[in-house]
Amino acid sequence: MKKLMMTTVTAMVALGLIIQPANAFAKKEEIVNVAHRGASGYAPENTMAAFEKAVDMKSDMFELDVQLSKDGELVVIHDTSVDRTTDGSGKVKDLTLEELRSLDAGSWFDEAFTGEKIPTLGEVLDEYRGKIGILIEIKSPSLYPGIEQKVADALTERNMHKPNNNKIIVQSFDHDSVQTFHSILPSVPLGVLVYNPDHLTDQRLEAFSEYASYVNPSKSLVDRELVTRIHDYDMDVHPWTARDRESVQALKEAGVDGIITDYPDYVD
């Protein structure tokens, strides 16, 4: 029904029966600036230094990746092993919180960041609630049964489970996990991450719209037609990951609602 109404409105616009606003293509005038893994072009990804840099650069939100330690604590790190972004080695799920916290998560990026730690999700929420929006990606949830409940608990304990202005969004590439989260905490806006173009059919978009507010595709999949189709299902689009000014410009021209970028200064 929603799709039919949008199609009718589009037809009325085409016939000149409705006057379009100046910025008719984008739904909003401001593009949401999302610092990917924090401002990770300028500081080591998924560290407090990168999140602080996102605040300094006046991003609207930062994105982070959450996984579980061996002892079931929510930790903020992208890869499922610590090898690339710390001075340690091994899988995140095989290391305790104490072991993970003993690692240096900064010097791989630059010596100036020596001593940065792998943060816990709670630490990040406590430090940044009310200061900046937080886009939480549940990373590889099939490795971590029950992680959705733990993320929901972390938000609820802090009374962050009814976020204003979409200042907390939870997303995942694992759409079953997103639906699980929705069943636990339906008040939190959700996003589906997509890298496969076959997952962007109208049928899929309609199914996403039952529980998600955002469809966040790889930037390589984004054009005006896709953005329009996602908007037709009343969802927003925050593509990833823009790492050059040309990509940012192309995404703006496609009418996206937000841009997930390592370089927040490229967006404004």
Contacts 24+ apart (CB under 8 A), 250-254: 250/219, 250/222, 251/219, 251/222, 252/31, 253/224, 254/222, 254/223, 254/224, 254/226, 254/227
Beta carbon nearer to Ca ion, 137 or 232: 137
Prior bond to 241 cis, omega within 30? yes
Q: Name which of 166 and 216 has its Cβ closer to ligand G3P.
A: 216
Active site residue 161: no
Q: For the window 30-69, what string marks contact with ligand G3P as x by the rule CB under 6 A?
A: ------x--------------------------x-x----
Q: CB of 239: closest distance to ligand G3P in angstroms?
A: 9
Pick between residue 147 and residue 193 the one whose CB is nearest to ligand G3P: 193
Task: Report what 240 binds from ligand G3P, Ca ion, none; CB cut-off 5-8 Å by kind.
Answer: ligand G3P
Radius of gyration of the chain (CA): 19
Q: How far apart are CA 195 and CA 58, in angstroms?
A: 28
| Residue 262 found at the interface with ligand G3P (CB under 6 A) | no
* Nearest CB to ligand G3P, comparing residues 25 and 195: 195
The yes-or-no answer on residue 78 being catalytic is yes
Please choose which of ligand G3P, Ca ion, none residue 257 contacts, taking the beta carbon within 5 to 8 angstroms, the exact cut-off set by kind. none
Structure tokens at 81: 């092993």
Kind and range of the H or E element at 170? strand 168-172
C-alpha distances out from residue 41 to 25, 93, 183, 188, 242, Å: 30, 27, 35, 28, 11
Q: Is 137 in the site for ligand G3P (CB under 6 A)?
A: yes
Q: Which stretch binds Ca ion (CB under 5 A): 6-14, 131-139, 203-211, 212-220?
A: 131-139
Which residues here bind ligand G3P, judged by CB under 6 A?
36, 63, 65, 78, 137, 193, 216, 240-241, 260
Which residues are the active-site residues? 36, 78
